[in-house]
Amino acid sequence: MGDGNKSIHEFDFKLICEYFSIIERQGPGSPEVTIKALSFIDNLADESKIADIGCRTGGQTMVLANHASGHITGIDLFPVFIDRFNDNSRKLNLQDRVNGVVGSMDNLPFQNEEFDLIWSEGAIYNIGFERGLNEWRKFLKKGAFLAVSEASWFTEKRPAEIDEFWKDAYPEINTISHKVAQMQKAGYIPIATFVLPENCWTEHFYVPQVSAQEKFLQKYAGNKTAEELVENQRHEAELYYTYKEYYGYAFYIGKKI
Ligand code: SAH
């Protein structure tokens, strides 16, 4: 029976991975936003070292590579993503500067003061914003940068439905000013913060999911996991369209003191 359960879980996991591999992104963002965040960082040269934590298949990493000097190490928990990351790097002829490794953000295989820049889009929530800021700091050289994007409240108060949804999904969601203060407290100079424009959620995230969801449901007709997964994603998108004045993603850029 144990084996039966295991294979069901593996199948669920495979399904979830397949769903996220057919959609363009796994969180809000865009190449324009990656480039904008990078514009606040002024310490990079050919010998610089950059880490992209929770890099997935490397969409934003390759944008970074094309707009910044230095060597980039992408790291993600899942080998399937890292295999595709390294394929993408080779296809773009970036393999000498960009490579992916499997590892966990709560136990990074890096040296103290190794990096000039730590990047992480839509991923730090996996260990929590404050913990990530505190734990990753030691891997940065003095004066090096950290740039992360993170779900944030835009207002002090918001309707109960969206408040409850986020408190369940990610209790550490908070206002931008609160997160800037956390960054300061963790030992960074807050250099810049900006709200991701709406098209990062619509054009780059929820809109491409609509046709992907239809194809996915056709392929897995009658499969409960597939149906629930799509249902959840649709619910999340509806909440966004209803409550987008209250929350979104913000980029936080800090410099290690
Ligand atoms: N940065 C990408 C992916 C964000 S989704 C983008 O902007 O599109 C979050 C990523 O974090 C996923 O690829 C997931 O596999 C990865 N992840 C989750 N937990 C992790 C952990 N403990 N260590 C490293 N990566 C993790």
The whole-chain average pLDDT of the chain stands at 94
Predicted pLDDT at 7: 60
Predicted pLDDT at 165: 97
Which pTM does this prediction carry?
0.94
Weakest-pLDDT range from 5-19, 33-47, 126-140: 5-19
Contacts of 100 (CB under 8 A, 6+ apart): 55, 58, 61, 73, 74, 75, 76, 81, 82, 85, 86, 89
Atom of ligand 1 nearest to the CA of 56: 13
Per-residue confidence band for 21, with pLDDT thresholds at 50, 70 and 90 = confident
Per-residue confidence band for 105, with pLDDT thresholds at 50, 70 and 90 = very high
Q: What is the dihedral of CA 163, 166, 171, 177, to 10 degrees?
A: -70
Atom of ligand 1 nearest to the CA of 126: 19
Are 121 and 222 a contacting pair, CB within 8 Å?
A: no
**Does residue 22 surpass a pLDDT of 90?**
no
Predicted pLDDT at 6: 52
33 Cα: distance to centroid of ligand 1 (angstroms) = 18
CA distance linking residue 41 with residue 191, whole number of Å:
9
Weakest-pLDDT range from 30-39, 61-70, 215-224, 242-251: 215-224
Q: What is the dihedral of CA 180, 183, 185, 187, to 10 degrees?
A: -140
Residues linked to residue 147 through DSSP beta bridges, in sequence order: 119, 253
User: According to DSSP H, which parts of 72-128 are helical?
Assistant: 79-91
Per-residue confidence band for 1, with pLDDT thresholds at 50, 70 and 90 = very low
CA distance linking residue 228 with residue 47, whole number of Å:
47
CA distance linking residue 69 with residue 71, whole number of Å:
7
Any residues with Cβ below 6 Å from ligand 1, and which?
25-27, 29, 54-56, 59-60, 76-78, 81, 104-106, 121-123, 126
Are 243 and 157 a contacting pair, CB within 8 Å?
A: no
76 Cα: distance to centroid of ligand 1 (angstroms) = 6
In the chain the domains, ranked by start, together with CATH numbers, are 29-197+246-256 (3.40.50.150)
Tens-place pLDDT, residues 184-202: 999 999 999 999 999 999 9
**Does residue 70 surpass a pLDDT of 80?**
yes
Higher-confidence position of 25 and 124: 124
Contacts of 2 (CB under 8 A, 6+ apart): none
CA distance linking residue 252 with residue 18, whole number of Å:
30
Which percentage of the chain shows pLDDT scores above 90? 86
Residue with tokens 């991701």: 196
Which percentage of the chain shows pLDDT scores above 70? 95
